[in-house]
Structures are given as structure tokens and as C-alpha cells.
Amino acid sequence: MSTLNIAIAGSSGRMGRALLEALAQAPDMRLATALERKNSPFVGKDAGELFGAPCGVSIGEDMATLKGCHALIDFTRPEATLDHLKICRELGVNIVIGTTGFTPEQKGLIADAGREIGVVFAPNMSVGVNLSLKLLDMAARVLNEGYDIEIVEAHHRHKVDAPSGTALRMGEVVANALGRNLAECAVYGREGVTGERSPSTIGFATVRGGDIVGDHTVLFAGTGERIEITHKASSRATFALGALRAARFLSQRGKGLYDMQDVLGLR
């Protein structure tokens, strides 16, 4: 297999640095382009210096450098990702999107791009999280009566969206398995005299603090027992490795809209 040329957006961010480090250790891949926003203080610096191993690739802001890349990996912000997606469509470059916080309309734009390029779009690239999604589907179908469902997630103080994209995806998987619409049954906060809990709801609780990488627990609380499916990330490396796996997948599959369930063969 030939070496894959990979581009990374938001290369100076927390996930960008994790991706650069993971990419440096991938023998079948090479960093072709490291991108940052215009006027970033990191533009012009060696991308490898961000994790202590100079690589000879300078961080730039010119999206035209994507030409010839096999895939762009993007963990930035929704508006930036959509700008990058437009350029990828124009240049015929596949894209792996780990950005969260998109509106339904923005998700529609991502889906539409799959008609022309390969897109892996997933709120969480971790292999373990995506296995958890499969387990949640199984659990919800078995525990479909007499169990209250609550989702608790925790992230670092810098995360800007809540609940996390992963928590929402977990809720969607559970709701779909139960034949419910998450938009109609989700409860995102409780305060004061709320009355008894409706058995048809799926509750969400959000924690923000410190440097928590990402913790997610789905609780099925029944009479006399509780079943909990939990995933805890201790390093962003797990998301970076999953994203590289997604880029490899796209090099084999071509255009279309995929998620990590496709990448991992869990469908």
C-alpha cells in the first residue's frame, strides 16, 4: 500500500497536537499539510515542534495545499469545518470530521458532500466509544421496559458545547432502539420541583471541569438493579488513532458518507 498524504486542520489545538503525534508514528502515513487559522501565531512554525519532534512541515493557512492529499482530518469548530469541507469538495479530497456542535442544517451539508467525496463524520473517533454504541443498542432493546435511562458526561473546562456530541449520539442510539425520537424525549436539565420522572424520557447530565478528556456513562435504572455502560478516555491519543483508522478506511472506499460504525465493521 502506498503512503497516504494526510492534512490536519487546527494543528496547534489539543486534538491537532494529538493527531500530529499519532501521525508521526504511523508508518503508512505522512503529514503533508498542517493548517491553522489565519493570523495564528503558530503559522510558519515546524508542526512537529508542537509535540517535541520537528518534522520539516511548516504550519500554514493556505487551503490550496490540500491538493493532492488523501484526506483532511478536522477537529475544529463547526464554521471552520464547513469552510474546509467546501474546499475538500472542490479539490476532491476526502475528509474525516470529529468536530461536534453542528446544527441539523449543517449536518445536512456534510451529508451532501458524501455525494462527491469520502466523508467519515462521527462525534467520537474512539474505537472503545463506538463499541459502546453497539452495546447500548443491544442493551436498550433488552431493557425496553421498566428501566429509566440517564446519560452522564464529563469533559474539560474548555469544551464549548453541551451535552457532548458523544452523549447525544449515545442518546440517539438508545432512543432509536426503543422506537423513540430523542428530540421529543430528551431532558437536558432539572431544577426545582420537577415532579415524578416520566418513564419515556432520556435524561442528560453534564459536568465540566479540569482536564477531563472525556467520560460517558449510560445508566439503565430498574427495580432492584442498575446496569451501567461506561467509557472513560484518559488520553486524546485514542481519538487520534481512530481518526487515522478512518482516513485509511476512506482510501479504500471512496466517496460516500460514513461513520465509525462503518469504519469498524459494526453495522
The C-alpha atoms of residue 76 and residue 200 are separated, in whole angstroms, by: 35
Q: Taking the chain, what is the end-to-end CA distance rounded to the nearest angstrom?
A: 26
Check if 45 is active-site: no
| Domain residue ranges in the chain | 4-125+236-263, 127-233
Q: Sheet harboring 118-121: ordered strands across?
A: 59-60, 29-35, 4-9, 71-74, 94-97, 118-121, 256-258
Residues 6 or more apart in contact with residue 125 via CB below 8 angstroms: 96, 98, 238, 239, 240, 241, 242, 243, 245, 246, 260
Residue-wise pLDDT tens digits, 238-254: 999 999 999 999 999 98
Return the pLDDT at 120: 98
User: Going by C-beta distance under 8 Å and a sequence separation of 6 or more, which residues neighbour residue 244?
Assistant: 6, 19, 22, 23, 26, 29, 73
The reply to whether 159 belongs to the active site is yes
Looking at 159, 216, 232, 255, which residue is catalytic? 159
Query: pLDDT digit string (tens) for 160-204?
Result: 999 999 999 999 999 999 999 999 999 998 999 999 999 999 999
Check if 4-125+236-263 and 127-233 are the same fold: no
Catalytic residue among 84, 155, 216, 231: 155
CA 29 to chain centre: 21
Among the CATH numbers 3.90.1150.10, 3.40.50.720, 3.40.50.150, 2.40.160.10, which is that of 4-125+236-263?
3.40.50.720
Superfamily for 127-233? Dihydrodipicolinate Reductase; domain 2 (3.30.360.10)
Interval 66-124: pLDDT, tens: 999 999 999 999 999 999 999 999 999 999 999 988 999 999 999 999 999 999 999 89
